[in-house]
Chain A
Amino acid sequence: MELLLLFIGAVLVNNVVLTRFLGICPFLGVSKKVETSFGMGLAVTFVMTLASLISYLVYKYILVTLHIEYLYTIAFILVIASLVQLVEMVIQKSSPSLYQALGVYLPLITTNCAVLGIAVINMQAEYSLIKSIINGFGTAVGFTLAIVILAGIRERIQFNDIPKSFKGYPIVLITAGLMAIAFLGFSGLIK
């Protein structure tokens, strides 16, 4: 039950994009089409879940054992960068069209603050291995949810008659802001 609560909390209440405001760059950059945004969400999910797992192991069994916890940032970045490289290779092999569509945002997961942020939050909250993975996975699902919803909205507003000054990113940012307010409604879900 506690794990379920943690998962739902990570997806809805503490949504990484709309509540914590991490990972805005791919959120705005790859949300033009539902299909590519879903692909981006999957890539981030894979990276984030594995990063939670590996960074937990690295932190617990290498950094803490050797009393060099202060190196956690550089170690986590190492983990994340390697994972992103791996994901890039896999996507390039398995789905060249998705690889094309994601473009520069795929390698940019490396510097996506959401991924590093979750690894650091896991560490600071002193989650266990299972909890770290659940939190990482839940956060990534929350990211996917947010980006797919935004992509759906953007697909619909594309042909709408929007005032000139709001065209492009302004309307997207306003939409994202309204989504954030809507997600605020989930805050009562879990104490």
Chain B
Amino acid sequence: MEWTSILYPALSIGGLGIVFGLGLGVAAKKFAIEVDPKVPKVREVLPGANCGGCGFAGCDAFAKAVVEGKAKPNGCPVGGSDVAAKVSAILGIESSDDVKKVAFVKCQGTCDKAKEKYEYVGVMDCKNANFLQGNGSKACEYGCLGLGSCVNACMFDAIHIIDGIAKVDEEKCTSCGMCVEACPKNLIDLVPYDNNVRVSCNSNNKGKDVKLSCDVGCIGCRLCTKVCEFDAISVENNLAKIDYDKCTMCMKCVEKCPTHAIIVKEQEK
């Protein structure tokens, strides 16, 4: 076997590669388009999984969208808060959204606890049912209809209808906010993942009306505001509201709440 039989192929193909490579290099310089210098920087700190979990075509598209302000710095579900902090640093903005948030369904009105006004037979879609008489079949017009519009909206399989109401799987939730938009009752909020104490009711009805329709609704009795030492709970429109910045999770309100509308996260599991 002659040595040229290896040398020639190697040289010719290698040479072709070098020539084309140089040509492309020159062309890349000549046809270079101006990109925001932040884009490649953002792209570098992203995980590079190109999973599309952010709702964009890939990490490149997401980086572009972030720099253009079309996506949030914490929009990458894979990267989590680490990546969010780095992206925020590159963009030069405060990473205020650093706290991991999860979607939370403000309703406990399961089949046995909440009453129904009538039997709903129809399309399994909350928006549709919400147009009907009395805003759906639930006795509480603020409560979860349990027809799964949020389930369909969730791309991460993080929300399910359990016992007639929507429940969020907080480990899978990426706080993308799709379910928040999908819910016609505005039942779903993004709340801090670390804060266990939450008001699990959305009813602005008066205490008496709440009692009539649901066993676990907030009746606006203000016992929680009196017991809270940190001024973290307020009652507006007959509904308790927790200020998560002030809440220390002392659990006093949870113990005091007569209808158990204020819950600890672990309890719901």
Interface residues of A (CB under 8 A from B): 58, 62-63, 66-68, 71, 74-75, 78-79, 82, 85-86, 89-90, 92-93, 96, 103
B31 proximal to A (CB < 8 A): yes
Query: Do residues A62 and B28 form an inter-chain contact, with CB atoms below 8 A?
Result: no
Q: Which residues of A contact B23 (CB under 8 A)?
A: 82, 86
Q: Mark B225-236, 1 if CB is under 8 A from A, else 0.
A: 000000000000
B33 and A93 form a contact (CB under 8 A): yes
Residues of A within 8 A of B33 (CB): 92-93, 96
Chain A residue with minimal CB distance to B9?
A: A68
Known contacts A86-B27, A92-B31: A78-B12 contact under CB 8 Å: no
Asked if B250 is at the interface (CB within 8 A of a chain A CB), the reply is: no
Is B3's CB within 8 Å of the partner chain A?
no
Segment 13-70 of B: residues with Cβ below 8 Å from A: 13, 16-17, 20-21, 23-24, 27-28, 31-33, 57
Taking a contact as CB atoms under 8 Å apart, the answer to whether A71 and B9 are in contact is yes
**CA–CA, A63 to B9, complex, Å?**
8
A68, A90, A103 pick with most chain B CB within 10 angstroms: A68
Taking CB as reference atom, which chain A residue is nearest B7? A66
Looking at chain A's contact residues, the main secondary structure is helix
Task: Give the residues in chain A near B9, CB-CB below 8 Å.
Answer: 66, 68, 71
Q: B16 touches which one: A78, A85, A96 (CB < 8 A)?
A: A78
CB-CB nearest in chain A for B58: A104
Q: Are B24 and A75 in contact (CB under 8 A)?
A: no
List of B residues within 8 angstroms of A86 by Cβ: 23-24, 27
Contact pick for A66, options B8, B20, B21, CB 8 Å: B8
Q: List 27 A-B contacts (CB under 8 A).
A: A58-B16, A62-B16, A63-B12, A66-B8, A66-B12, A67-B8, A68-B8, A68-B9, A68-B12, A71-B12, A71-B13, A75-B12, A75-B13, A75-B16, A78-B13, A78-B16, A78-B17, A78-B20, A82-B20, A82-B21, A85-B27, A86-B23, A89-B31, A93-B31, A93-B32, A93-B33, A96-B33
Q: Given the complex of chains A and B, what is the CA–CA distance between A177 and B94 in angstroms?
A: 57
Smallest CB-CB separation from A67: which chain B residue? B8
Whether B24 pairs with A85 at a CB distance below 8 angstroms is yes
A58 to chain B: which residues have CB within 8 Å?
16
- Give the chain B neighbours of A79 by CB distance below 8 A: 16, 20
Q: How far is the CB of B116 from chain A (nearest CB, A)?
A: 34
Identify 13 new A-B residue pairs, CB closer than 8 A, beyond the known A75-B13, A92-B33.
A58-B16, A66-B8, A68-B8, A71-B9, A71-B12, A75-B12, A86-B23, A86-B24, A86-B27, A90-B31, A92-B31, A93-B32, A103-B57
- Chain A residue numbers with a CB within 8 Å of B21 are 82
With a cutoff of 8 Å between Cβ atoms, the chain B residues found around residue A62 in the complex are: 12, 16
B219 to chain A, nearest CB (A): 50
A103 to B60, CA, bound (A): 13
Q: Which residue of B lies closest to A70 (CB)?
A: B9
Looking at the assembled complex, report how far the CB atom of A184 sits from the nearest CB atom of chain B, in whole angstroms. Answer: 39
Complex CA gap A11/B107 in Å reads 65
User: In whole angstroms, how far apart are the Cα atoms of A71 and B15 in the complex?
Assistant: 14
Interchain CA distance A68-B57 in the complex, whole Å: 42
How far apart are the CA atoms of A62 and B23 in the complex, in Å? 18
Q: How far is the CA of A103 from the CA of B57 in the complex (A)?
A: 10
B5 to chain A minimum Cβ distance, whole angstroms, is 8
Q: Are A74 and B31 in contact (CB under 8 A)?
A: no
- A79 CA / B16 CA spacing, docked (Å): 8
How distant is B36 from chain A, measured CB to nearest CB, in Å?
A: 14
In Å, the complex CA distance between A118 and B21 comes to 23
Interface pair B27/A89, CB less than 8 Å apart: yes
CA distance A58 to B17 in the complex (A): 12
Query: What is the CA–CA distance of A79 and B13 in the complex, to the nearest angstrom?
Result: 10
Q: Roughly how many angstroms separate A71 CA and B6 CA in the complex, as a whole number?
A: 12
- Shortest A96–chain B CB gap in Å is 8
A62 CB, min distance to chain B CBs, angstroms: 5
A82 to B23: give the CA distance in the assembly, Å. 9
Tell me, in angstroms, the Cα distance from A169 to B104 when the chains sit together.
39
Using Cβ atoms and an 8 Å threshold, which residues of chain A touch B12? 62-63, 66, 68, 71, 75
Write the B208-227 contact mask toward A (1 if CB under 8 angstroms, else 0): 00000000000000000000
For the complex of A and B, 6 pairs with smallest distance between CB atoms: A82-B20, A89-B31, A93-B31, A66-B8, A68-B9, A62-B12
